Structure 1
Amino acid sequence: MTVHPLPRPGGLTLAQASAEFLDRFREQPLTRRAYAQTLTVLADAAVGGTAATVAVAFTPGAAATAMARWEGAAPATWNKHLAALRSFAAYCARRQALEEDPTRLLERRKEPRRGDKAVPAARLEELFTDPAVGLREKVLWRMLYETAARAEEILTLDVGDLDAAMRRARVRSKGGAIEYVHWATPTARILPRLLAGRTTGPVYLSDRRSPAAGARARALADVDPTTGRGRLSYPRAEYLFKQASQRHDPHGQGWTLHQLRHSALTYLAAEGRSAPELQAKSRHAHLATLGKYVRLGEETSAWVTAEHDPYNRRAPRR
């Protein structure tokens, strides 16, 4: 357990508090990255900048300005960033750097309880085999779907994390634990083409070389030592998936990377997999959290309707 001293006279600065807060999650890179995104926006909205004390910088106005960044986002996205701000505020209060919660005037938004996020399997296959899609994206999307893993878990993979013989990869889960995800034959067939003999560095690389110095320089762990290219970022991967999937979405909106995980678990549930089997695949800590993933939706509805169509020639005669 990390014990921080009480702030010195003059108060804890926002920069110091943010760094210490994020340091608590150094063994949980996915959580750390999510919190860092929120705190970066807060830093831009802070009164007096990050050099000001928390009490001066982190005000209700600054919190509202920061959250305005996600004003048009989905309720789940809004609630995620609001929860991050509140967690940071609670930390600052424990450090005696804040007396009141700056987010107290902000409210969580109601999230819709239903909604079929699974992408029809036929459309997924069209997307996976689209000749206009590059090899990197095909491998990434296939692996995400077949492993039912979180996008950031797969994007943070290094070549050394792969076990091609067992068709599995070692990932650091949302809670920081080391776990394994498994893929199937389609991924196994095209993964070697992506690696092209590489034995080190990130599995998924950006299109450009990473700057060696300056504000955009990356950590050495996120750079391929052979090509100098950096790790593919989540925002870029999400953007590319959205753009490519718009061509296959009849509504033209496109899909999200998270929908690949959702689709995989939904179809496994439709095939009759038990709750413990789904939990083993998804690696959720609690069975109750599987509910939103395994609710059978539009694909199952279409199948049931077709099976009971009175003009279905394959229907058993009565």
Structure 2
Amino acid sequence: MPVIAFPGSPPDPAGPGADSSVTAAIDRFLACLPAKTTRDSYAKTLTHLAGLAGNRPVADLSCEDYAAVMDRWNTAAAATWNRHLSALVSFTTWAQRQDLLATNPARRLTRRPAVRRGDRAIPAARLETLFTDERHPLRERLLWRLLYETAARADEILSLDVADLDLERRRARVTSKGGAIEYVHWATATARLLPRLLQGRQAGPVFLADRRAPATGRRAPATADICPVTGRGRLSYPRAEYLFKTATADLDPHREGWTLHQLRHSALQHLAEAGRTAPELQAKSRHQHLASLGRYIRLGEETSARITAEHDPAARRRAR
């Protein structure tokens, strides 16, 4: 009789008798995840769990261990807290299916309600000011504009290699959430900037870090994340996010700086304001469900201001 693996829980490749330490289990869990973006995201959380309880058996993990890991993000935004908690919960579910863990150390932790601000979409005029400000390096201006024009997720764009680009058709092949291979498309402004950034490079990451990547040590990246021409590594999400928040602090009314994800949000909301239908937004954003687009179809402050001005009784009076 053939054995069919439980969906979403590939068999443990190490088999019976494998190392049951937290570090070893985390490595096996991450290896089971098909999508690189998911692996990278979960690894950011589980690295802290491994640092706390690395050599202990998985079976010994407790609620206090998980609370200590999550305490690192205790003051972070609700979305950040929920993202890291999801990583712990996913690892817990996998460990239970592998009979490594009988309890649920995440049972005392709860997701936090996200507070939705009404001004998450960045006004188009401010974006254009940002994109054309040559005080910012070419790499940053191209990254920001590419994220906006493609309405792609930041980790998808930062994971691009030169080989993924189709410059003639103004598109790139990305690995989306869940591991699907999809295409994102850009407009003329990005098409004009890309050759300037690449400078003839035919391989390696599109967006490179400022320094050469270390060849050895724990910070040495994978070979695929190093440019064969310059020796520089791939630009990381945390670094790109920091640069964007710093560059936009003065433009943001809250003086906090904007996030890279707000470029995706802004692109979709601006398209909705321009009259694009929900199916068209779905094609652009690559959301699996139309219901996920509700936040973008809900038009924002600029639309409110325009409607108010257009229906201002004083504006109807004609000059004599």
What is the TM-score normalised by the length of structure 1? 0.93
Corresponding position: 1:218 with 2:227: no
Match of 1:230 among 233, 240, 251: 233
RMSD (Å) for aligned C-alpha atoms: 1.8
Deviation of 1:129 after TM superposition, in Å, equals 1.4
Deviation of 1:250 after TM superposition, in Å, equals 2.9
Pairs within 5 Å for 1:140-289 = 140-289=143-292
**Inter-partner Cα distance in structure 1 for 2:205 and 2:294:** 33
Q: Deviations over 1:24-71 (max 9, x none)?
A: 11x30111111111101212232xxx1221122x22111000000110
Deviation of 1:316 after TM superposition, in Å, equals 8.6
- Show the counterpart of 1:73: 76
- Show the counterpart of 2:38: 31
* Structure 1 pair 306–7 and aligned structure 2 pair: CA distance change class (3 A): farther
Q: Which moved more, 1:291-300 or 1:207-216?
A: 291-300
Letter in 1 for 2:114: E
**Inter-partner Cα distance in structure 1 for 2:263 and 2:146:** 9
Conserved? CA contact 2:273–2:299, under 8 Å: yes
* Structure 1 pair 80–233 and aligned structure 2 pair: CA distance change class (3 A): same
Match of 2:20 among 12, 27, 31: 12
1:230 partner SS: strand
- Show the counterpart of 2:101: 98
Match of 1:55 among 51, 59, 79: 59
**Inter-partner Cα distance in structure 2 for 1:204 and 1:113:** 31
- Show the counterpart of 2:49: 42
- Show the counterpart of 2:86: 83
**Inter-partner Cα distance in structure 1 for 2:216 and 2:15:** 35
- Show the counterpart of 1:109: 112
**Inter-partner Cα distance in structure 1 for 2:202 and 2:248:** 31
Aligned length: 310
Q: Deviations over 1:227-263 (max 9, x none)?
A: 0000000000000000001121233111000000000
Q: Deviations over 1:252-277 (max 9, x none)?
A: 11100000000000011111111111
Conserved? CA contact 1:7–1:95, under 8 Å: no
**Inter-partner Cα distance in structure 2 for 1:259 and 1:181:** 17
**Inter-partner Cα distance in structure 2 for 1:29 and 1:281:** 22
Letter in 1 for 2:148: Y
2:168 partner SS: helix
**Inter-partner Cα distance in structure 1 for 2:221 and 2:64:** 32
Deviation of 1:311 after TM superposition, in Å, equals 4.0
Letter in 2 for 1:268: L
**Inter-partner Cα distance in structure 1 for 2:87 and 2:16:** 22
**Inter-partner Cα distance in structure 2 for 1:242 and 1:312:** 39
**Inter-partner Cα distance in structure 1 for 2:269 and 2:297:** 5
Q: Deviations over 1:115-149 (max 9, x none)?
A: 33101111111111122110000100000000000
